[in-house]
Amino acid sequence: MQNRIMITGAGSGLGREIALRWAREGWRLALSDVSDAGLQETLRLVREAGADGFVQRCDVRDYSQLTAFAQACEQKFGGIDIIVNNAGVASGGFFGELSLEDWDWQIAINLMGVVKGCKAFLPLLEQSKGKIINIASMAALMQGPAMSNYNVAKAGVVALSESLLIELRQQEIGVHVVCPSFFQTNLLDSFRGPTPAMKAQVGKLLESSPISASDIAEYIFDQVGKGEFMILPHEQGRMAWQLKQKNPQMLYDEMANMADKMRAKAKSGKD
């Protein structure tokens, strides 16, 4: 029987590239997103790569849409072998400038969307002894300045993944968490934050990545195959994480300097 994978946020960026990487292995794909046009384009590319599947609109904030999606996977595929909780949005702004609504929005999508995805699909994963791949971020580990709500949501995804790794071993369900640094996608389109200057700064960071979404999908495919739990696709990210574990204060000092620079830039109006 062919293997089956479901991906949230599959209509763009990393979600689309993960779909294409597994499509090249001949997997059947269940693709969801809030963007119908994005989903149609991913499905077209999946078919071009010689695989097939179905698309279903699904907002990860809405648990009933996720359970309906799980039901569709059961009806159409007879189950699921891998789930990828990838859907996410970008945000930025210093803590003092972020509203509580900014927090609710960020946590609802980037953290609770992953919690709900895991919960909705758990019965199917128990049947298949499948795998969970959660897309977090280096922000979960490094806590860069002016993105506290994003940092907290992604740190929550890492903590959830560690909890599930421990709890689900008995059911033989594999768990992986991916922490990429910035890379170029359409993530900036979803940006929510108090100032356009902050959005521009995030845009520059996305552009600065030495690796693409497709490189990251390739790395994830390889590392999941090797059974690696914590997947850090950027070399610089792996180095920074090692450094932080050895000397956290040095990293805090560096981040504080970065915060000063960002404030100065925002004040002078330059980017």
Ligand X SMILES: NC(=O)c1ccc[n+]([C@@H]2O[C@H](COP(=O)([O-])OP(=O)(O)OC[C@H]3O[C@@H](n4cnc5c(N)ncnc54)[C@H](O)[C@@H]3O)[C@@H](O)[C@H]2O)c1
Sequence letter at residue 6? M
Nearer to ligand X, 90 or 169 (CB): 90
Strand 131-135 and strand 4-7: the pairing is unpaired
Contact residue for ligand X among 29, 31, 86, 234 (CB under 6 A): 86
> Does 67 sit near ligand X (CB under 6 A)?
no
Which among 72-80, 115-123, 159-167, 184-192 is the span making contact with ligand X, rule CB under 6 A?
184-192
Dist. CA 193–CA 156, nearest whole Å? 20
Helical (H) or strand (E) element with 133: strand 131-135
- Scan residues 192-211 and list those touching ligand X (CB under 6 A): 206
Nearer to ligand X, 122 or 232 (CB): 232
23 Cβ neighbours under 8 A, 6+ residues apart: 29, 45, 46, 49, 50, 51
Whether 150 sits among the annotated catalytic residues: the reply is yes
DSSP 14-75: HHHHHHHHHHTTT-EEEEEES-HHHHHHHHHHHHHTT-EEEEEE--TT-HHHHHHHHHHHHH
Nearer to ligand X, 80 or 90 (CB): 90
Nearer to ligand X, 12 or 161 (CB): 12
Pull the structure tokens for residue 47. Answer: 């078919």
Kindly state the smallest distance separating residue 244's Cβ from ligand X, in Å: 17
> Does 124 sit near ligand X (CB under 6 A)?
no
> Does 87 sit near ligand X (CB under 6 A)?
yes
Q: Which residues bind ligand X (CB under 6 A)?
A: 8-9, 11-15, 33-35, 38, 59-61, 86-89, 109, 135, 137, 180, 182-183, 185-187, 189-190, 206
